[in-house]
Each structure stands twice: as structure tokens, then as C-alpha cells.
Amino acid sequence: MSRHIGEERHTGLWGTTPPIPAPTPAERTTTPAPPPEYATPEPVTTAPEQARTAPEQARTAPEYATVTPEFDAVATTPAPPEFDAVVTTPAKPVSDTPARATPRPAPRRPERRAPTPAEQSTSDEPTERDFLIPAEGLTAQQRKHALTKLETYLVGKHEHMVGFQGNQDLGHAQQDLGRFLDFHLNNVGDPFQQGNYKPNTKAVERAVLDRYAELWRAEWPYDGKNPESYWGYVLTMGSTEGNLYALASARDYLSGRKLIGDPGGSNPQMVYVQAAPPARSAPAARVGGSPAADPRNAYRPVAFYSEDTHYSVIKAVRTLAIDTFGAIGTAEYPDQCPLGGRWPLEVPSKGGPDGSGEIDVDKLERLVAFFAERGHPILLLLNFGTTFKGAYDNIEKVATRLVPLFRRHGLLEREIEFEPGRTDRRRGFWVHVDGALGAGIMPFLRHAAEEDEHSELAVALRRELKGKVPEFDFGLRVDGVDVVGSLVMSGHKWAGAPFPCGIFMTKNKFRVEPAATPAYTGSPDTTFAGSRNGLSPLVLWNHLASRSVRGHAAEAVAALRRTRYLESALRELEDRLDREDRLPEGGLHVDRSPMALTVRFRRPNDEIIAKWSLSCQPMPTGTGEVRHFAHVFAMPSLTEEKIDLFMEDLFAEGAFTHPDIPLPEPTTSATAFAADVQPLALVPMTGRGFQ
């Protein structure tokens, strides 16, 4: 649904001003005319004047005490470093300060005043100049003018945003939920504790969590006393926060940590403790290892994730100081990589960097086996919809291979001893599913697949999806083991939230603090964020509640159909260009991973990238050549008409000509050290949907 900027608005900043008329298409690409009553503020000292006066002021420090209008003007222009240093060095008496420094020219900064109409940026894209905040603030008219410029720009960009996995169809968010902008909604603390900050939306949050728990086949409604019940919360960031929380939870669980009631305390407080490492002589079965296992590894989890994994996971692994298999392998088992050669820092994807983007299960199994044999708990992150290729790791196949392996190495259940007689039984593995996009759409595709096979929806789905709907959630059981430990989804991807948010979910039995012990409810600091966005649950609730499950399922099937339309359109474009002898050498590299909601193709020129907000990624091929790709996601906001318009842009003369695209270079200091240091994790500079 398009945004209508002429719609009636809630009173607020504009007071009773009439609605802003919707711009005509011609107006959308130009700067709106300034309102006639626009007031030009008094001119103040210009930047060059300030540049001259600042060092002068520095030399005569005692005068700082005298606040003159000129000094005010100088002070608001941040000073060059020398100037700062003179002012803030307290040790020396001011009179001793030698007036010797050769002043560096002051950085050129815009004046702190509202731009006059003539000074407004003329480009379509607003700049910070349009939003400068003068000391005296801006009038309502000036704010309105600046915000209209932004809105005009956003309307154009909204219409053409096709390159990222964010659904631009925000449903009726503004119409239904705009009224809640008049409240500070804060869901601080645990969703299942009402807390004392009463203007919250926790009731809505719990309803949303219950619904996703049902869609993801966890036990619901939430029940703190039931170890099998789900627990989760609505994230204030997106899946980045969820991945961080998941990996922190997994690390604590696998490394034998626990929150316990303070044994000696009289206050209701808790202590975060670490289980003692099992004795070297401990029987293997007790510590969960195979005979070859080293008990010292029992609480040293090792992380595994594929080379197509989102960079938020790498950030989380680094933030939480979790060991990766590549780091331990390189440091402690050089020359023993079961894949041969040097240890990779990430699990290879099937077919390498130019493959489908799905994790290579054979290689994963060999790598995991190596560490399981040595007694390490296994922390596995799987992708359900990768960022660039939209690929799904085959979670069921991974589980089918790894569950017997975990059983063999005593990782299905182990005893964690905190002190004699106080033990926990935990598993020695954790599977986290990053379903940033996939966890939002897949439950609905499953619903379509479960309909009567002759139903219109089931037939439509079979046209798009040959095999079965892939497994990814808490309902997946292999040999009686419920494999998935945690799951994350972004709310602004499939669900179309107008700002980043998401959901993290796990089960009570995997949490390191005692669930449902009312004595502890005074410290329900169970979420990463303290203050949490109370609008996010509303937006997710509106998304879920605005149609039937069948309606959601139809939307999900339609997205797959549009992806196929997009792929065909790109292949047809390739043919058209070829017929006209205008096809770039090597073709358009059109590719779609199985079931993905995205199609990738040769990167077009910068103008097209900017117009359609395309995400781009260089990818090495098997031959070492680097190919530059862009991709389009068939979110519900991408219509066939938009795809047709996009194809026309791609068919235009010069659409695929661009200067050589430089690849970012690692910093020289990093390169200089690279031979001597211990690698911990790969930090990619390109790919993974960075750009």
C-alpha cells in the first residue's frame, strides 16, 4: 500500500494546520517550494569569521569568563584541536599558556541557523543542512518545511525500494496505530512481569509472543512452571539483538553457568555462577564426553556458522568472546583440519561462495565431529533465509546427521555439577536458527501446504514449491530430540514494521535462571535492552491480526509467485539484450537459490542502484573472478507493475555500464600483522548484505 501524504493527520506538531496536499508526480522529485511565511533568521557570525576569531580567543584565555554575544557564536563552532587543548588543560596556569601554536584552519562547519530558502539543498535527497538546529530552535513552519522535504523524498524512495528484505507495505500502521505516538510506551523488563512502569503494551506483547510460539510450534501459552513452554520477548533492535541474546544464552548454558539465589544473602538477590570443570578423572559419561574427550573442554563451547551468515552473528561472537571452530582449530590443532589444509574460519557453503548460500552439511558434520570427539559443547547457528541469497540451511538434514553424533559423544544430555549434590542436566549442544526473514513467512507457507491438496492455495503453492516446506522451528524432532534451542525473526522484514524490531524465542528449559520462582520476580532483568519499544508489539499484533491465517498464507504464496515472475523477467531481459547485441559479456548472471524470495543478477549502474535502493555484493566465483551482483527481494510491496518498470530501467542504454568497482582494502596494520596473530573470527568487509 502506498503512503498518502495528503491524508488527514493526528494533531501534533502541526496543530490545526490543514493537511499537506499530496505532491504530484512532478513535485515528488523536486524540492517543495518554501511556504510564503518562511522567516529568515537574523544573520550571525559566518564560519570564516569564526575561524579567524577562535585562535585569537585561545590566546587570550582569561576573556573566556566574559560571555559576549561574539563569544557565544565562537563557542558554538567546535574548535580545532589546539583550541580545545588550550581551553581544557587545567594543570598550567592560564597566564603561562604560550601563544605559539600555529593555528590549524578551523574545520568548515555550517552556521547554526536555519537555511534560507535559497540555501536549501536543491537535490532531491535531503542533507543535514536542511535539518540544522539553531540555538533558538525552529518555528513550527520551519520544522514543517524541513520535514515535508524529508517526506517528499521518502515517498519517492518508498515507491522504489526493492533491494532489501524489508516489506514496504506497512498495512494500516499509521491509520490504526498513529494514536499511540501520543504515549511513551515502554515495555521495560520481562514481558511476563507487568512491572511498575504502567504505560506499557506487555499484554499485547504476550499475545504476539503466544501467537508466534504457536506458529513456531512451541508449547504455549507461556507458563513459567513448564520447562517445555516457550519464553521470549519482542526485540527493540532487529535480529541483531536476537542473535546476540541467543548466542549469550547458548554460551552461558553450554559453559555451565547459572543464576542462583544468593546462598548467604538476606536480600533477594541472585548470583551468577560457573560450574566447576569436571575432574580430569571424571568418567566420560558423567561429563558427557567420549573416551577421547578432554574434560577441560566440557565447558568450552565452540561456535559453527556458515560463510553466508549475517555479520551480526560475527559481531555477537566477538562481543561475547565465544570461541569459533576456526580459531581453536588453528591454535590448537594446526594441520588437523578434517577438511584438509588450513582451517576455514567459517563453515563452507554448498558450492562455495558462488553456490546457493546453503550450509554444506557434509563439511559441517565433519567439523562438528572433530570438536564433539574432544569433548567440546557445540553451538550451531543455522540460517533460515540468508541476507543476500535468501538461502535456507537444511535444518532437518543437519539435525538428522548431528543428533546421532551428539548421542555418540554424550552431548544429548550431560550432568553439570555446581557443587557436590547440586547438579543440572543439560544438553551439550545448542542450535540457534536465524530466521530474520524466513521465520516470518514459513509458518504461513506451511499452512498453505497443510490445506486440502485440491484447494486453490495448496495448488498455487505446489506451482512454486516442489519439495516439502522446510523445517526450522521448535516442532522439529529428530529421534525424539527437539533440536532447536532458539529462534529469531526481524519484525521489519516479512511483517512490515515501520522500524526495526523482532522476536527472540527459546524454551524455559534452556534458560540459565530458574523459571517461575516468584521470589526472583523482583529482578526480572531478562531482556538485553532495559527500556524496550512498546510500539513494536502493537505493529506485530496489527500485522498478525489484520487477516486470517489463510490470508497470510495466500500472501506468502503470492510472494513466491512474484519471485518467479521477477526471475523470468530478468531472464527475458537477458534475451532481449542479447537479441539487440547489448548483453554485457558473461550475461546477467541471473540466479535464485531454492525457494528464495530474492533473485540476484549483474549489478547495474549507480543511478539505477540509487533509484531502486539496490543492495549490492561482490562475489568470487570458483575461477577466482569477482562478479558484482545486486538483488531484488519480492516482498509483498513489490508488484508485477514495479518489476516491469524496473526491467525498463535495466533495458535502457548503459544500464550495466559502470566504472570498475574498487573492493575495500584491509587496513595496512591489519595486513602487517596477519602472519603472526591468532585469527579469532572472519570479519567480512563485503558481502553479507553490507551495502
User: With respect to ligand PLP, which residue has the nearer C-beta, 316 or 573?
Assistant: 316
Answer for which of 74, 146, 170, 237 binds ligand PLP (CB under 6 A) is 237
Strand partners, 419: 422
- The helix/strand/coil state of 537 is helix
Q: Is 617 in the site for ligand PLP (CB under 6 A)?
A: no
List the x/- string, 385-424, binding to ligand PLP by CB under 6 A.
Answer: xxx-------------------------------------
Residue ranges of alpha helices (H) inside 23-64 are: 25-28, 47-59
Answer for which of 80, 295, 500, 534 binds ligand PLP (CB under 6 A) is 500
Answer for which of 142, 201, 240, 255 binds ligand PLP (CB under 6 A) is 240
221 prior amide bond cis, ω within 30? yes
DSSP letter at 388? Answer: T
- Cα 301 to Cα 325: distance, rounded to the nearest angstrom: 9
CA atoms within 13 A on the CB side of 427: 20
Q: Which of 648, 644, 634 is nearest to 561 (CA)?
A: 634
Minimum CB separation of residue 358 from ligand PLP in Å reads: 13
Return the range that interacts with ligand PLP (CB under 6 A); candidates 139-147, 237-245, 352-360, 532-540: 237-245
User: With respect to ligand PLP, which residue has the nearer C-beta, 356 or 387?
Assistant: 387
Answer for which of 144, 145, 258, 310 binds ligand PLP (CB under 6 A) is 310
Return the range that interacts with ligand PLP (CB under 6 A); candidates 110-118, 233-241, 514-522, 620-628: 233-241
* Residue 203: all three cell numbers together: 499484554
Place of cell 568418567: 283
Rg (CA), the chain: 29
Q: Is 689 in the site for ligand PLP (CB under 6 A)?
A: yes
- Cα 690 to Cα 672: distance, rounded to the nearest angstrom: 25
Cβ neighbours around 82 below 10 Å, total: 15
Minimum CB separation of residue 310 from ligand PLP in Å reads: 3
Answer for which of 200, 356, 490, 615 binds ligand PLP (CB under 6 A) is 490
Minimum CB separation of residue 400 from ligand PLP in Å reads: 23
User: With respect to ligand PLP, which residue has the nearer C-beta, 126 or 496?
Assistant: 496
Return the range that interacts with ligand PLP (CB under 6 A); candidates 234-242, 337-345, 355-363, 541-549: 234-242
Residues binding ligand PLP: what is the number (CB under 6 A)? 17
Answer for which of 307, 358, 434, 471 binds ligand PLP (CB under 6 A) is 434
Answer for which of 238, 326, 443, 485 binds ligand PLP (CB under 6 A) is 238
Q: Is 239 in the site for ligand PLP (CB under 6 A)?
A: yes
Minimum CB separation of residue 491 from ligand PLP in Å reads: 8
User: Cβ contacts of residue 396 below 8 Å, gap of 6+?
Assistant: 470, 471, 476, 478
- Cα 30 to Cα 152: distance, rounded to the nearest angstrom: 9
List the x/- string, 446-485, binding to ligand PLP by CB under 6 A.
Answer: ----------------------------------------
Answer for which of 50, 168, 312, 615 binds ligand PLP (CB under 6 A) is 312
- Cα 60 to Cα 75: distance, rounded to the nearest angstrom: 14
| Strands 429-434, 484-490: pairing kind | parallel
Handedness of CA 214, 216, 217, 220 (dihedral sign): negative
**Environment class of 92 (CB within 10 Å of its CB; exposed 0-12, middle 13-18, buried 19+):** exposed
User: With respect to ligand PLP, which residue has the nearer C-beta, 120 or 239?
Assistant: 239
* Residue 42: all three cell numbers together: 537574523
Minimum CB separation of residue 384 from ligand PLP in Å reads: 8
Minimum CB separation of residue 381 from ligand PLP in Å reads: 10
- Cα 327 to Cα 391: distance, rounded to the nearest angstrom: 26
- Cα 230 to Cα 214: distance, rounded to the nearest angstrom: 10
Query: Interface with ligand PLP by CB under 6 A: which residues?
Result: 237-240, 243, 310, 312, 383, 385-387, 434, 436, 490, 500, 502, 689
